[in-house]
């Protein structure tokens, strides 16, 4: 791969083109403010659409398993395209990909809101997913690039705070809009924000020259095709495996295809001169341990928010509104700690925050593994808060460590890869926990399905809760492994921009 590069993004615009704003010491905050609008809009869209699913199902006279594909197909598209879009942004410019992505995202949202049938709604959601894939990784890459090397944790922490705020606001705003105006307004909600975000980003970044790969570097089409195929096959299998049966022909074929394409992808990436993802990055200790810790952390925590509504509503008997409010304190803690730990890790190093954060998450999961059929919210909510405090404390320093281990010209693909790892781990975590819970239920003579806990069968609450306890214990064990990886990481990298040949 060519190593020829332009000026560093963090050094600002080239002489003669820089604006007064770009020369301002507050330029980095202006950039963050412009991109924060798009970040917030993307996260709010996801949360609000989830709330609207039952209403959409009623409108189109279909069942919830079918209408859930409105969310599934959107998430699959994002996960499958994060890596190619990140790499493309490194080649043609992250600003271009981000702006075009906002336009695609807005167009997809408008078409979704206007869709007269599911046959048009599903493709519109795919279009939205393409736009989201273009903005998610590149947004964080731009923010990280404009902040100085010793403030990467602050940049990523601020980014994650906006994600947390959007995650809290999405369901609340979506619920209100659906009640008063119907489900279509949920898709139109983000259009003004997308327009404002695009205009603000164009204005703030005018004259800004970013570092990207040399002009002669080419896009790895085969690598992009293989990586997309691997993720589509793998995530589809993980999503529907529990219902279809893990050993059913379709699931076995999907896993086999994913393994085959993954092997081919690795073989090709190690031989091509311009790889989609330079796998030699894994030779660096900071990069490989950081990526591994990120995957294991989300694998060991993401299923909690998926499982808790079943427990809170169907076992403890709380309303959907009460169950929703029960997770809000934890989400707030995550949003706050994302910025706090990011800022402090820039000064004191990463390790104490990644290890400390994972220890907090592990304690929270340990407490959750003790729940019973009559546990109090005074036990559940503090445990969720501990877990989310840990997640917020971990993520910013860990992502900062990964980004600090590569040169600026690779920020796009590495940011996309970090988001890909998170998305893949989220899906895998839910499948993993579901298997443990349903297997436990089956061993006690109940239907091996999460839907069974909604029924009135005597003893099903006990079986589900026991399975949940086993799942939380298993997830805590995964967090402990992630903590070990984080403890082995260097505390900081002395050089702000290590060379590609460095072996960390």
3-state SS of 146-181 is: HCCHHHHHHHHHHHHHHHHHHHHHHHHHHHHHHHHH
HSE (CB half, 13 Å, CA atoms) of 316? 22
Write out pLDDT tens, residues 435-480. 899 899 888 888 887 777 777 777 888 899 999 999 999 999 999 9
HSE (CB half, 13 Å, CA atoms) of 81? 23
Alpha-carbon torsion 85, 91, 92, 96, what sign?
positive
Question: Which residue numbers in the chain have pLDDT < 70?
Answer: 1-23, 64-65, 207, 209-217, 320, 493-504
Closest CA to 286 of 62, 495, 429, 76: 495
The pLDDT, as a whole number, for residue 444 is 86
What SS3 state is found at 319? coil
Write out pLDDT tens, residues 367-397. 999 999 888 889 999 999 999 999 989 998 9
The pLDDT, as a whole number, for residue 368 is 94
Whole-angstrom distance, CA of residue 59 vs CA of residue 330 = 33
What SS3 state is found at 231? helix
The pLDDT, as a whole number, for residue 261 is 94
Residue with tokens 């990964």: 402
Closest CA to 6 of 219, 146, 214: 214
The pLDDT, as a whole number, for residue 468 is 93
The pLDDT, as a whole number, for residue 13 is 41
């Amino acid at each position: 791969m060519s190593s020829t590069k332009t000026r560093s993004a963090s050094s600002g615009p080239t002489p003669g083109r820089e604006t007064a704003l770009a020369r301002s010491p507050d330029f980095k905050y202006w950039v963050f403010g412009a991109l924060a609008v798009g970040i917030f809009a993307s996260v709010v869209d996801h949360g609000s659409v989830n709330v609207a699913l039952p209403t959409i199902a009623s409108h189109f006279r279909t069942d919830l398993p079918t209408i859930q594909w409105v969310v599934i197909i959107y998430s699959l598209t994002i996960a499958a395209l994060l890596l190619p879009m990140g790499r493309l942004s490194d080649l043609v410019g992250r600003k271009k990909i981000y702006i075009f992505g906002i336009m695609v995202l807005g167009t997809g949202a408008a078409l979704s809101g206007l869709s007269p049938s599911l046959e048009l709604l599903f493709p519109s959601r795919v279009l939205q997913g393409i736009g989201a894939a273009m903005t998610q990784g590149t947004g964080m890459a731009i923010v990280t690039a404009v902040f100085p090397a010793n403030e990467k944790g602050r940049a990523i922490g601020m980014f994650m705070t906006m994600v947390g705020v959007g995650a809290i606001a999405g369901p609340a705003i979506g619920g209100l809009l659906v009640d008063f105006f119907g489900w279509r307004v949920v898709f139109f909600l983000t259009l003004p924000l997308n327009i404002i975000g695009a205009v603000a980003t164009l204005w703030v970044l005018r004259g800004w020259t970013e570092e990207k790969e040399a002009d002669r570097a080419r896009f790895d089409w085969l690598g992009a095709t293989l990586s997309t195929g691997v993720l589509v096959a793998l995530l589809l299998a993980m999503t529907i495996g529990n219902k279809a049966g893990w050993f059913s022909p379709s699931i076995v074929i999907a896993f086999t295809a994913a393994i085959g394409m993954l092997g081919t992808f690795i073989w090709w990436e190690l031989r091509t001169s311009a790889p989609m993802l330079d796998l030699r990055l894994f030779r660096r200790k900071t990069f490989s341990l950081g990526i591994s810790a990120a995957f294991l952390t989300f694998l060991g925590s993401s299923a909690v928010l998926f499982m808790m509504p079943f427990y809170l509503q169907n076992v403890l008997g709380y309303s959907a509104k009460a169950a929703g409010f029960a997770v809000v304190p934890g989400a707030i803690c995550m949003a706050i700690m994302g910025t706090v730990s990011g800022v402090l890790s820039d000064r004191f190093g990463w390790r104490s925050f990644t290890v400390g954060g994972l220890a907090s998450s592990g304690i929270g999961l340990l407490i959750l593994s003790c729940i019973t059929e009559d546990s109090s919210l005074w036990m559940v909510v503090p445990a969720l808060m501990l877990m989310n405090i840990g997640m917020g404390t971990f993520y910013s320093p860990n992502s900062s460590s990964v980004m600090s281990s590569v040169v600026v010209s690779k920020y796009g693909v590495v940011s996309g890869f970090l988001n890909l790892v998170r998305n893949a781990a989220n899906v895998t975590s839910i499948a993993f926990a579901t298997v443990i819970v349903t297997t436990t239920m089956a061993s006690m003579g109940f239907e091996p399905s999460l839907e069974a806990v909604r029924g009135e069968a005597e003893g099903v609450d006990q079986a589900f809760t026991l399975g949940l306890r086993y799942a939380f214990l298993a997830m805590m064990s995964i967090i402990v492994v992630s903590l070990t990886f984080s403890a082995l990481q260097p505390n900081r990298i002395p050089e702000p921009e290590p060379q590609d040949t460095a072996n960390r």
